[in-house]
Amino acid sequence: MKDWRLKYEYGVTRAEVQAFIDGNLCVRQFLAKYSEATRYNFSRYLCMFFKWLKIRKSLELTPDEFLQAICEKRQKVSVQERCWGRNLVLDFTRDNPDLKGKSHSLLYGAMFKSVNLFCKALILPYVAPGDREV
């Protein structure tokens, strides 16, 4: 049975996922704490997300560059700028016309969660000098 994810131009093969993991230290660090099955699912959706960014949004960013851009945009005054990363993830999942009709558990429980947890795990919250994190 063919994997349904491969029908999209941003679908990824196992070889592409492995190359994505091998080529990105931050992805390997993020995946290290999960079981093998979870690692594969998270890495597949992360790889799809970055391929989707390149194809559909013309954003050719590595995972490190994406995290750096999020950190820089969070310092901006504009709400739109501060929410840039989250909005891209929502475009990839909830608002993606290719995925219309897919289950909530797939879109949020797997796809959104994969990218969201990756970002949360590797971006430290901003704490001003002298302040305590709440």
- 80-102: pLDDT as tens digits: 888 899 999 999 998 999 988 88
Beta-carbon contacts of residue 119 (< 8 Å; ≥ 6 apart): 67, 70, 85, 89
Has residue 133 got a pLDDT over 80?
A: no
Has residue 127 got a pLDDT over 70?
A: no
pLDDT value for 4: 67
Q: Specify whether the CB–CB gap between 93 and 108 falls below 8 A.
A: yes
Phi-psi region of 59 (alpha: psi -120 to 50; beta: other; left: phi over 0): beta
Beta-carbon contacts of residue 112 (< 8 Å; ≥ 6 apart): 89, 90, 92, 93, 94
pTM, two decimal places: 0.86
